[in-house]
Amino acid sequence: MTKTICVVGLGYIGLPTAVMFANYGVKVHGVDVNQAAVESIQNKKLHIEENGLQERLNKAVDEGLLTASTTPVEADVFIVAVPSPINADHTANLAYVRQATASIVPFVKKGNLVILESTVPPKTVEDVMLPELRKTGLDVETDIHVAHSPERVIPGRIFEELIHNDRIVGGVTPQAAQMTKELYETFVEGTIHLTDATTAELVKVMENTYRDVNIAFANELAQIAEKLDVNIWEAIKLANYHPRVNVHFPGPGVGGHCIAVDPWFLVELGGEQAKIIHLSRTTNDGMPAFTAQKTQSLLNEAKIAGGTVAVLGLAFKGNVDDMRESPSTHVIRELQNLGLNVISYDPHITTNKHETQTQNLDEALTQADIIVVLTDHNEFKALEPKTLQARANIVFDTKNCLPRDKWQQAGFSHHLLGDAKNV
């Protein structure tokens, strides 16, 4: 059994990973540069939303198996789980990975295991982490052991997927891979597959790029369907009855810390060989503008000049508070560029994180000429349209999450993304 783990980065991946190990009896010290986040953890308060996290955090802290601070400590294992965003020019920003690795250098000892969990471009372990770790004066193949084991979870189901999903482990050496496998076997019930570090880096980016390309295909189909006056949601459902077809669904854009970011890593590395990937990214990044333009068209059809839009949902996906790369923020900007007023509401984001945000659903609805649903929260699915104090009678459901019959019966004109039918 591993004696101690130091987890650097206590965000959406690092904190659940830290409490998971702690709940399985491992002594864990968490590190984050955000002092407020550290203090929240010390006081058993959450700075992120995740199902089951509060109970697991309470247990870890109460049992004395999880501590937190802004500086690393000596440990047997170091896990780096920090963001790896993209710059404005769509190139990878690896400053957080480099800084996090540099922060543990004074504490790394012979025999330690260092694992990168962050999703990164291939060759990051080799080109970014190893040069920093060599500053320990230790050999990165014999004295210390380095591996990449990318997270494979989705917000809202992190703990279920941490346990049950298969995991990829890529070691700088076979010994590092084997040590990492044995570590994660502490709680992972899925199969752990071993490879080298660069292959593991590529695999994770491939997985998210596959989904991005499939979503781009669906978004193109949605735009074509509007010209054909076809409901693309029905068409995709029927197509997916084919045993070898799995078309994703369209949406107002792609968000989150992975799918909207990782494909750019391959575009940067692949250049002219990444044509399909690049086009898919461009297609998906164009959906907020398409969504805003359709909103404007629906207002024009209703002979409403200007107008106010009630945007329901700021998180990038349903039932989480995660706004990273959320298409909602881009849709709002595009709506404002068209001269429309916007008031937004999200039940999972309880402190205002956007200039248009209100904490009162009725306030948003009573001011609106059109309701635009951008996130499929359960709270929105459960709305009773007959009881809403809404000025608008137009709803544009970009996620196909509202029961169309119910909203029509309540007197609303209900519209979908990828469906030009006037209903």
Domain residue limits, the chain: 4-196, 286-416
pLDDT tens for each residue of 310-329: 999 999 999 999 999 999 99
Structurally, what CATH architecture does the domain formed by 4-196 represent?
3-Layer(aba) Sandwich (3.40)
Provide the residue count of the chain.
Answer: 423
pLDDT tens for each residue of 329-346: 999 999 999 999 999 999
pLDDT tens for each residue of 220-243: 999 999 999 999 999 999 999 999
Catalytically active residues are 204, 258
pLDDT recorded at residue 1: 53
Q: If 0-12 CB within 10 Å is exposed, 13-18 middle and 19+ buried, where does residue 96 land?
A: middle
Q: Write the DSSP string, 57-86.
A: HHHHHHTT-EEEESS----SEEEE-----B
Which residues does residue 293 pair with via DSSP β-bridges, in sequence order?
none
Give dist(CA 162, CA 14) in Å, integer: 12
pLDDT tens for each residue of 176-209: 999 999 999 999 999 999 999 999 999 999 999 9
With pLDDT > 90 as the criterion, what percentage of the chain qualifies?
Answer: 92
Handedness of CA 176, 182, 187, 188 (dihedral sign): positive
* Mean pLDDT of the region 393-420: 94
pLDDT tens for each residue of 246-301: 999 999 999 988 899 999 999 999 999 999 999 999 999 999 999 999 999 999 99
| E-state strands within 103-255 | 113-116, 145-148, 167-171, 192-196
* Model-wide pTM > 0.85: yes
Q: Write the DSSP string, 9-38.
A: --STTHHHHHHHHHHTT-EEEEE-S-HHHH
* Mean pLDDT of the region 127-152: 97
From the list 325, 300, 304, 299, the residue with the least C-alpha distance to 314 is: 325
Residues 6+ apart with CB under 8 A from 9: 31, 32, 80, 81, 82, 83, 96, 100, 118
Classify domain 286-416 by CATH number.
3.40.50.720
Question: Residue 423 pLDDT more than 50?
Answer: no
Structure tokens at 34: 């955000």
